[in-house]
Structure 1
């Protein structure tokens, strides 16, 4: 056994990679896990691995090992998955998001098995602020490689909610090349099946959710108006908190009114005045964020304010869909965790099947 690396790894957007190719185009999350049983170690793109962590941004512990044969499984690891991996060429490198190689793997371009283990994934999500403020990493990971013939990927052990979410997501992804959006253009525009007329009339916010989580649209439509209204309020709070706007003195009264079910106070009773106040206040200066699918560069705080305005819509379905979409854009590539949290907070949203679509390239 050879330990290639043991230390800390900086992650962004809850991901890092192993890459043995020489182009700059990283795998999309959905492509990396397409057709797999596990959603933590995406091995569907030849020559690459897409690896998921519980922590969104900060430092995690990582050990990388190369073995001559399958190593024994350590019971200390809470999450364990395995997949087959064939490097496109030597060497392969471990890559943090948006950074240079962390370490080099001198693997021959032959078939290997990779085992990816983790512990503390849920804590990584919950204690991110403490890690960002200099605390020790709370989630840790182990990557092990050894020569082995190709075999299907497998979930060996699962204990955390984070891992369960990503496994469900992967199992709902189509294998590469499979037609997934049949029907006429209108049906295709809704991800392969038409929603209710009420959803179709809800406008662009509902359509914006289609590539993010098609199943969630129908789930929101199916719950009662009271749950829709509560979901809208929750999403507005999450968006404004994510953007750092929840403590602004002229915004907090609007959140309080929203929670009481009252009309939004001045200036939010007139969207034009609300935006004028927003851009005139130096405390609400704009900050950058990525689109939910990883593209573009909208402004995080500018996308959070519409969540508040949407949540006050008279129609509870339109309010819920609009606030959810605005909150997803505000969270950028971290939106799958937002949707997972919504399902935990509002169990009526949980349907018999996992989300039909997951994150794009993030």
Structure 2
């Protein structure tokens, strides 16, 4: 069992249906979601939200090793590998001030697993909200590169995102 090194709970500002995990506060353009929840590039991940703008409730846990998988109460959950070149990966808003969350990669440069859980994305799709209606849990720990794991995909918003991604991929393949 993994003991959590650091846990933080804060409201996170969302713009353009997302917030980031990033090293340099970079905002790459045109990334693809292989699942309906998190897109990953070296030094960067984008978490897809149902709301277009507003706050979500976010819990961040930084672990020394993989925590047990607990999907109770979550509608979506996926795990991916994230590469950190600097060991300074942080949570970041697209266009707003970011609350003080812990550094996600305290073991320095290298590969980390990131497990993202979500619920409530169907509550106010595409809306601007003034009170949080979505919850996210991000768990991070050092680990070798591994294929993504999709634990759960049950919300309608995620299903629509996957259908749209499949159509874009098919159009590019023609």
| Superposition TM-score, scaled by structure 1 size | 0.42
Q: 2:132 maps to which residue?
A: 137
CA distance in 2, matches of 1:124, 1:5: 25
- Flag structure 1 segments of 5+ consecutive residues without an equivalent: 175-179, 182-190, 194-362
Of the three residues 157, 162, 165, the one matched with 2:157 is 162
Cα shift at 1:32: 4.5
CA distance in 1, matches of 2:78, 2:21: 15
Equivalent residue in structure 2 for 1:146, among 141, 144, 154: 141
The structure in which a higher percent of residues are helix is: 1
Measured in 1, the distance between the counterparts of 2:9 and 2:124 equals 19
1:81 corresponds to which of 51, 65, 78: 78
Q: Distance in 2 between matches of 1:91 and 1:192?
A: 37
Greater RCO (Cα-Cα under 8 Å, separation 6 or more)? 2
1:283-298 correspondence to structure 2 within 5 Å: none
- Cα deviation, residue 155, structure 1: 1.6
Residues 120-140 of structure 1: CA deviation (Å, up to 9, x unaligned): 1100327x46x32xxx41110
20 and 123 in structure 1: CA distance in 2 versus 1, 3 angstrom threshold: same
Aligned to 1:19, which of 12, 22, 32? 22
Contact 2:12 2:98 in 1 (8 A): no
Structure 2 partner of 1:105: 103
> Is the contact made by 1:124 and 1:138 (CA closer than 8 Å) also made in structure 2?
yes
When residues 172 and 151 of structure 1 are mapped into structure 2, their CA distance, relative to the original with a 3 A threshold, is farther
Contact residue 82 and residue 113 of structure 2 kept, 8 A: yes
Q: Shift in Å at residue 54 of structure 1?
A: 1.1
The 1-side partners of 2:159 and 2:173 are apart by: 25
**More strand by proportion, 1 or 2?**
2
Query: Which segment is superposed worse, 71-80 or 60-69?
Result: 71-80
Residue 56 of structure 1 deviates from its aligned partner by 1.0
SS in 2 for 1:31: coil
CA deviations on 1:73-95 (whole Å, 9 max, x unpaired) are 22111110110011121211111
Are the equivalent residues in 2 in contact too, given 1:32–1:49 (CA < 8 A)?
no
User: TM-score, normalization: structure 2?
Assistant: 0.83
Question: Quick one: which of 52, 58, 82 aligns to 1:56?
Answer: 52
**Deviation of 1:2 (Å):** 2.9
Deviations along 1:295-318, whole A, 9 cap, x unmatched? xxxxxxxxxxxxxxxxxxxxxxxx
Shift of 1:192: 7.0
Aligned residue number for residue 118 of structure 1: 118
TM-aligned CA deviation for residue 172 of structure 1? 5.8
**Residue 167 (structure 1) shift:** 3.0
Matches of 1:46 and 1:173, distance apart in 2: 23
Q: Secondary structure at the match of 2:163?
A: helix
Three-state SS of the structure 2 residue aligned to 1:111 is strand
Give distance in 2, aligned partners of 1:56 and 1:164. Answer: 17
Deviations 1:200-249 (A, max 9, x none): xxxxxxxxxxxxxxxxxxxxxxxxxxxxxxxxxxxxxxxxxxxxxxxxxx
Shift of 1:3: 3.4
Question: Which entry has the higher C-alpha Rg, 1 or 2?
Answer: 1
Q: How many residues align?
A: 167
